[in-house]
Each structure stands twice: as structure tokens, then as C-alpha cells.
């Protein structure tokens, strides 16, 4: 069974440019998460989806970040415009549900460098 | 708010040495506790978990016991291998038994030399 797929794996852009990350969760997983991982830090939740609905986006900087999960499967995270401080690894994870019995499976991440 | 504090790395050991990575937490309520591992170039993988006080999580020779009295969840392994070289993250979930909002520590890099 395929794991969580993310693309691209690496992205280098200049500041003020837009950028988008794509995530394909494990088949059948209704819950999808986007995390931000700064260098030397643990992941921090940006947004959580239950099917198509964003049920927790309290940590998403809405002035420049947006996300969508059309049809409740794939998801896209966008930054527009990117700033130098956005350089980090963006992780996508999915799970069957939100109980403590449902393990979150993580993708390999997209490493963003903003110049 | 919730927080997790891990011992800072990097940790370098010889093969077959004993491993301890300390983890303490601050949380309201009764969180579930987790250890995740990240091998080079891969995503985070759940290593083990414990959902209530005195529970012991174990997997692949690793163990951790949920200690409510000391708010700790230290990771141990009796004999490490080169293949255990990775970054280890301690994490907790919000109270209420749901794991949807994980709070992670900063991670500890472990390098095991042959």
C-alpha cells in the first residue's frame, strides 16, 4: 500500500513568489493534516481536514497561506507571497480518524527554500 | 498550553550501547504520549505510544513508560544498532483521547557507530 505522497520534494523560490505543495493521502484516510517543521524543531500543525472540511485552521497564517482539499482526497497548500521566514519543511499526514487509536502517517515532506 | 521537552542532541553511541532519550511534558488533562522516528529522507513514523498513566509502549526493542507523577515518557533501548540512527521526536496529544493535534518536542538526533 502506498504511503502519503508529497510533491515536490524540494522547492527553491525567490521571496514574493507564490508556491504550492501537493499531498495525496493514504487511500481511505478521511483526516488530512498539514504541518510546518522549522529547522531543529518539531512539526507544528497548520491545518486539519475532515474530508473536504477544514475543521482546525487556527494556526494557519491566513494572510498569505491557503489550503484546499477538493473532493476530500488530495490537498494543496499555497503560500502567496512567500517570505524568507517561510523556509522550512512542509509535512502532510493522514489518518483514518481522530481518535488516539488512529495513527497519523506522515509523508516525506517538501523542503522549501526562499531566497 | 501543552509542551514537550526533549534532551538535546546529538547523541552518539557505539553499537550495542544502552540508549535513553529523556522526554518530559506539560499538559492539561490526560494526554496520550508518543515517540516518532524519522529516518534520513523519510517521513515521521510512529514508534510507540501510551494512552494512560503507567502504560508501557514498546516496539522494535524500544520502550517508554508513561509516568504521570514525573510527567515523563523517556525512550529506552537496551542495545542500539547502526540502523537505529535517526531523529526521535516525543509528542503528546490533546486530552480527550484524540490524536488530531500533536504537540512535538524538538527532536533528538541519534547516531550509532559500528
Q: Give the model confidence (pLDDT) of B11-63 as tens digits.
A: 999 999 999 999 999 988 788 899 999 998 888 999 999 988 999 999 999 99
CA-based nearest residue in chain B for residue A31: B100
- Give CA–CA dist A57/A45, Å, rounded: 9
Contact B80, B88 (CB under 8 A): no
pLDDT digits (tens, 9 = 90+) for A51-81: 999 988 888 999 999 999 988 899 999 999 9
Given this model, what pLDDT does residue A102 score? 72
Given this model, what pLDDT does residue B100 score? 64
B70 to B66, B76, B114: CA distances (angstroms): 9, 16, 34
Given this model, what pLDDT does residue A52 score? 92
* B36, B97, B106 ranked by CB distance to A100: nearest: B97
CA-based nearest residue in chain B for residue A47: B101
Given this model, what pLDDT does residue A27 score? 93
Please give the backbone phi and psi of residue B26, each rounded to the nearest 5 degrees, phi first: -130, 125
Given this model, what pLDDT does residue A109 score? 95
- The Cα of B34 is separated from the nearest Cα of chain A by a number of Å equal to 10
* B41, B101, B107 ranked by CB distance to A56: nearest: B101
Question: Is it the case that residue A95 has pLDDT exceeding 70?
Answer: yes
- The Cα of A44 is separated from the nearest Cα of chain B by a number of Å equal to 7
Other beta carbons within 10 Å of B76: 15
Residue recorded with cell 497548520: A46
* B42, B46, B102 ranked by CB distance to A108: nearest: B42
* B43, B93, B99 ranked by CB distance to A91: nearest: B43
Please give the backbone phi and psi of residue A6, each rounded to the nearest 5 degrees, phi first: -130, 145
Q: Report which of B22, B12, B15 is spatially closest to residue B79, judged by C-alpha positions.
A: B15
Contact B73, B90 (CB under 8 A): yes
Element (H, E) at A49: strand A44-50
B101 interaction partners in chain A (CB closer than 8 Å):
45, 48, 56
CB contacts < 8 A, A to B, total: 63
Amino acid at each position: 500500500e502506498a504511503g502519503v505522497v508529497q510533491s515536490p520534494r524540494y522547492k527553491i523560490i525567490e521571496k514574493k513568489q507564490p508556491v504550492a505543495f501537493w499531498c495525496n493521502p493514504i487511500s481511505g484516510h478521511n483526516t488530512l493534516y498539514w504541518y510546518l517543521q522549522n529547522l531543529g524543531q518539531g512539526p507544528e500543525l497548520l491545518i486539519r481536514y475532515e474530508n473536504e472540511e477544514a475543521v482546525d485552521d487556527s494556526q494557519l497564517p491566513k494572510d498569505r497561506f491557503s489550503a484546499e482539499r477538493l473532493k476530500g482526497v488530495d490537498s494543496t497548500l499555497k503560500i502567496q507571497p512567500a517570505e524568507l521566514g517561510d523556509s522550512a519543511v512542509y509535512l502532510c499526514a493522514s489518518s483514518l480518524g481522530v481518535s488516539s487509536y488512529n495513527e497519523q502517517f506522515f509523508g516525506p515532506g517538501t523542503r522549501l527554500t526562499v531566497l | 498550553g501543552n509542551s514537550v521537552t526533549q534532551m538535546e542532541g546529538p547523541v552518539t553511541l557505539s553499537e550495542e550501547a544502552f540508549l535513553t532519550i529523556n522526554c518530559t511534558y506539560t499538559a492539561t488533562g490526560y494526554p496520550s504520549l508518543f515517540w516518532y522516528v524519522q529516518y534520513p529522507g523519510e517521513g515521521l513514523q510512529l514508534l510507540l505510544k501510551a494512552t494512560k498513566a503507567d502504560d508501557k509502549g514498546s516496539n522494535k526493542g524500544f520502550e517508554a513508560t508513561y509516568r504521570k507523577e514525573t510527567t515523563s515518557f523517556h525512550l529506552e533501548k537496551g542495545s542500539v544498532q547502526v540502523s537505529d540512527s535517526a531523529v526521535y521526536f516525543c509528542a503528546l496529544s490533546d486530552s480527550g483521547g484524540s490524536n488530531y493535534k500533536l504537540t512535538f518536542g524538538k527532536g533528538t538526533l541519534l547516531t550509532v557507530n559500528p
